[in-house]
Amino acid sequence: MQSHISIKIHFKCIIGILNFERKKKQKICIKLKAKANDFLDYAKVSKKIKKIYKKEKFFTLEESVDFVCEKLHSKFPQIIYLKIATFKPKIIKNSIVGVKLKKRY
């Protein structure tokens, strides 16, 4: 059985290279799509993503999505495809900035 999940979560964490970004948590939005060769629990995947971002305090969005993909695949080896996008909706007025990454395993 193949599993397909789609997740969209919002939370606050430390992410960025500027001084104010290293001191004050900011809102980020993460969109993830995953395919797996077996059952994939979206609640566990969501919890793992949030835990990673809160613990690691990344400097760049690019660094964060690459790291998260590797950690998710390590924790959930049944994953064969990941598409993740991480956005900072409030960092620039009237803009949403972010990055996307696709991985096949």
User: pLDDT digit string (tens) for 2-40?
Assistant: 999 999 999 999 999 999 999 999 999 999 999 999 999
Q: What's residue 47's pLDDT? A: 98
pLDDT exceeds 80 at position 1 = no
Report how far apart, in Å, the C-alpha atoms of 102 and of each of 7, 94, 98, 99 are.
15, 27, 14, 11
Instruction: Please give the single-letter amino acid code of residue 83.
Output: K
Q: What's residue 101's pLDDT? A: 98
Residue whose entry in the numeric block shows the structure tokens 């964060």:
64
